[in-house]
Chain A
Amino acid sequence: MRRAPQATLVVLVALALALLVAGCGASPGSGGDEPRDEAPQGPARVDVANAGEVTLTVWDQEVRGGQAAQIRRLNAAFERRYPNVTIERVARSFTDLNTTLKLALSGDDAPDVVQANQGRPVMGQLVRGGLLRPLTRYAQAFGWEDRYSEVLLDLNRFSPDGRRFGEGELFGLSQMGEIVGLFFDTRAVPTPPRTFAELEGLLEQAERDGDVPVAFGNLDGFPGIHLFQAVQNAFTPPRQTRDLVFARPGARFDTPENVAAATRLREWVQRGWLTPDFAGTSYDDAWQQFARGRGRFLVAGTWLVADLAERMGDRVGFVPVPTGGAGADPVALGGESLPFAVTRRSEHPDVAAAYIDFLTTSDAARVLVETGNLPAVRVDAPSATPLGQDVQEAWTTLTEREALVPYLDYATPTFYDDLTEAIQRLLAGRRSPAEFTRDVQGEYAEFVGDL
């Protein structure tokens, strides 16, 4: 055997490697930086009809049932009103959208409008990277600030550098509202509880009757966050949770109130007030068990309304989870659907903003109601089902009183994982309530320290 050819191969490989390394010889993410144009001041003046031929690429995740129906109808209506605009819709699942958005927006062929989830994990990082356009000028032009409750707008606000959350520029607008509340089986619970004490009384009653008090499945992790926050709202003032989520100075997680909430939730587990084997039960199994009558209550989001109404008819009702004594101000975990935002690279920001406006008018809200959704803005059209009406009523009260508490997992880019893990440990009794709040605070402090 001659050895010479091996040398050729080595040279070949080395050449290829050198070429490749040269090809990626810049810091990642450095190519995309363009000077940020100075935003003009004052309300924007938008004239879509005279904008010429425009193709608007929109990435959304409105793919299920009523959601898909409303966006198709509204897109068609927008194109009818402005024949010079074509909407090119790219529909993706929630997870798909969240994981591909960063790459898509930093590429040259970025879409014009995208749904960018609230909070630090998605919207915050996109704002930091300068990939979204502030919409405050359009908010003034279209009167969005009168259309929405303050607490809903705050969820879509960031400072232009992405460091401060819940204040600063508006970066998106959501179509629908959502509440994580209390569904109850009206056969076993004819009148819903009005106070936290009443709720616990009913849970105890269910336990005595040999029924499952709360249908709950935590295999997927996120239901634990919702249940914890439902109990947390009875102990921790909403201000404290909001300050934590928005990382306002001095906010922490290891407060006596949160320890008390964790202690109480752990007691619910110990008393057997949750579905047995909840740790291995999936979210879908849990709500389906509730629909079959196994479980008197279900803590879940209003996104289940259509499914539950279909299966249970008038056997199901909805109220915000009671948090205090009689006459206490209502508080509920909730927020709004993924906001539509305009990308920095869009060549038609005016048309994009007009499109977002169109999706969130009261006319659009009527379409939302007709397709079985809960509009974020006030609307005078009542829902077709009794359950939908319960939800509308709760939403009106909660937004009028600014009583919504945001999801904790908006707080840091990794908080979703940190929290689901910590809550699973708490529920299993692997960590005490005090250790639980300390663990979570540790992760939180690590992020806030870097801000």
Chain B
Amino acid sequence: MATSDLRAPGEPRRVAYLYLLPAFAVFALFVLAPLLHSAWISLFAWDGVTEGRWVGLENYEAVAGDPELRRAFLHALVLLVFFAVLPVAIGLALAAALSRTRVRGLTAFRTILFLPQVVALVVVAVMWRLIYAPERGLLNEGLRTVGLGALAQSWLGDFDLALPSIGLVGTWLMYGLAMVLFTAGVQKIPPSLYDAARVDGAGPVREFFAVTLPGLRNEVAVALTLTTIAALRTFDLVYLTTGGGPGGATSVPAFEVYERAFRGGEVGAAAALGICLAAMILVLALAIDRVAERAART
């Protein structure tokens, strides 16, 4: 009798790797290979045209030592608050509210709130550029209409406001995603838990922390991972709204990668920066995963 017949059903078998092969081949060709090629290029001083010069890890040292890049990474962390923390908080609040009441036409609301995710980022950027325009922009005109004209600002042109302004676009973009994930998750929580909490006299706040939040652990992890990645690799929004300005106040790592590779002719340095950014994203995603898992065990 063949050995494989001795195995219990569901036991891992070598042949499974054969099934993985097609997916792995595609992954290797379109993700791994370019990634490794970038890593290879990052070890050279290369302008993209003439022959590259081997510099080892110098490009990475430069990434660590460049104040412009430190500033860009700092901006990415600020965006993290707007793209990840705020949307998840808003999404949780909305999900908690919806868990306590029955809303008619919930699907319609969900669809509307999810729309920003569907619209192409270029459209989003152009639209928000119009909204933020100092003159005839929707935001400033709105403020003037309600008598708050003194608050009207040059939103994208101000050194202190430009980055938060872009960040708010990210919040608008992401909270719908978080909310849809969370409302779906809430429906999965057994109503008996809510009934039990209410019988025990829990108020809305207590109920949220005792029932809703633990029940949404996995969804929160997914939402945080997705939004964190979106925050750190932000490029389109910055490129299309401010071009990194004013005076570099909105430059972010992904934008610097583009600038260096395609405009400045520093392909090696850009590749090193890209690798660092990818590593940072990976570390953060793993950390989020870890924390969620640990929370699941306690």
Contact = CB atoms under 8 A, between A and B. Distances in A.
Interface of A: 1-2, 4-5, 8-9, 12, 16-17, 20-21, 23-25, 27-30, 33, 98-99, 102-103, 106, 121, 125-126, 128-131, 218-221, 276-282, 285, 289, 413-414, 416-417, 420-422, 424-425, 428, 430
Given A20-B36, A125-B265, A421-B248, A279 B49 contact: no
B49 A281 contact: no
Contact of A219 (B44, B51, B157, B159): B157
B203 interface: no
B135 to A, nearest CB: 7
Interface string B241-266: 01111111000000000010011110
Decide if the interface of chain B is mainly helix, strand, loop or mixed: loop
B135 A281 contact: yes
Interface in B106-120: none
A308 B44 CA distance: 48
A274 to B, nearest CB: 12
Given A21-B36, A221-B245, A129 B12 contact: no
Given A219-B156, A221-B243, A29 B50 contact: yes
A125 B154 contact: no
B245 A424 contact: yes
B144 to A, nearest CB: 13
Given A125-B265, A416-B263, A430-B159, A280 B134 contact: yes
* Chain B contact patch, size range: 35 or more
Nearest to A431: B247
Contacts, number: 151
Contact of B46 (A29, A126, A128, A221): A29
B17 A28 contact: no
Interface of B: 11-14, 16-17, 24, 28, 32-33, 36-37, 40-41, 44, 46-54, 129, 132-136, 153-159, 242-248, 259, 262-265, 267-268
B36 A277 contact: no
B197 to A, nearest CB: 39
A280 B156 contact: yes
Contacts of B28: 16, 20
B59 to A, nearest CB: 13
Contact of A30 (B37, B52, B154, B264): B52
Contacts of A33: 51
Nearest to A422: B247
A282 B267 CA distance: 30
A103 B154 CA distance: 39
Given A421-B248, A428-B247, A276 B17 contact: no
